Amino acid sequence: MAERLRDYMAEAGPGALTQYLRTRAGSTGRYLLEQLPQWSLGFVPGLPGIVLRSLGYRWLFGRGSAAPVVEAGVEFFHMNLIFLGKSVYVDRGARLHASRAAITVGACCRIMRGAYLCSYVSNAAPGEGISLGPRCWIGINAVLASGRGGLTLGENVLVGPGAICVTGDHDFRRADLASLDQEYLGRPIGIGDNVWIGAGAVVLGGVTVGDRAVIAAGAVVTRDVPAGEVVGGVPARTIATVEGK
């Protein structure tokens, strides 16, 4: 039976613990396997903590993952569906929450303080999670969310502080249903290489951003951005090109 948002909004009862664990790991055993090291090592400060987490976490991530550099206070859920390239750095307070829609982080990516990468939704689909190419920078408190549709960043993408890229939406046209029962839909987001997404910008599902495009701070992007264009405003429109025209 497919999960619904309503399933997460019920009063506490006998099934609440099972529901909670399902959001965090594939099974109770897997939950304990992943969380015990985080409970014991997750808040060890400084270089000793980084070394201990590198050694203690690596084998919990998806097959073929390299050892990451993880600061104190980082949270990981469904770790076996998080795949990390070489030399990935995750700053304090970040959370990576995967699901059957996996999260893949390319080599040399930097996920900064408080950033949230989430592919967990009630109807997450394999192959429609989050994929970061090599050398992406995910800024402070940025949010990348996709469990439906798929969110892909190319190489050398810069995501500014507080920026949001989210593929999902609720089928609000079904006015005959309560909001909790409306289907959660997803449309893909594709971000090209060498793109800069400014602070507080929002990129919505169904958008493709071409190589070397720039999204100005605070913009809300609802349609495709051609390569090399600078867009800004709500909704975003072209205001310049990277060549200065």
Cα torsion 144, 148, 149, 153: sign: positive
Spatial strand order of the sheet with 89-90 comes to 69-70, 89-90, 110-111, 137-138, 158-159, 196-197, 214-215, 229-232, 237-241
Catalytic residue check, 170: yes
- Joined together, the tokens standing for residue 242 give 């990277």
Residue of 4, 58, 170, 187 marked catalytic: 170
Cα–Cα distance, 92 to 159 (Å, whole number): 17
Integer angstrom CA distances of residue 108 from 33, 83, 103, 188, 243: 27, 13, 15, 24, 28
Q: How many residues does the chain have?
A: 245
Contact 234, 220 (CB under 8 A): yes
According to DSSP, the β-strands at 184-186 and 168-170 are antiparallel
Type of residue numbered 26:
G
Residue closest to 151 by CA, chosen among 125, 169, 129: 129
Q: For residue 180, how far is the Cα from the chain centroid?
A: 22
What SS3 string covers 87-116?
A: CCEECCCCEEECCCCCEEECCCCEECCCCE
Catalytic positions are 170
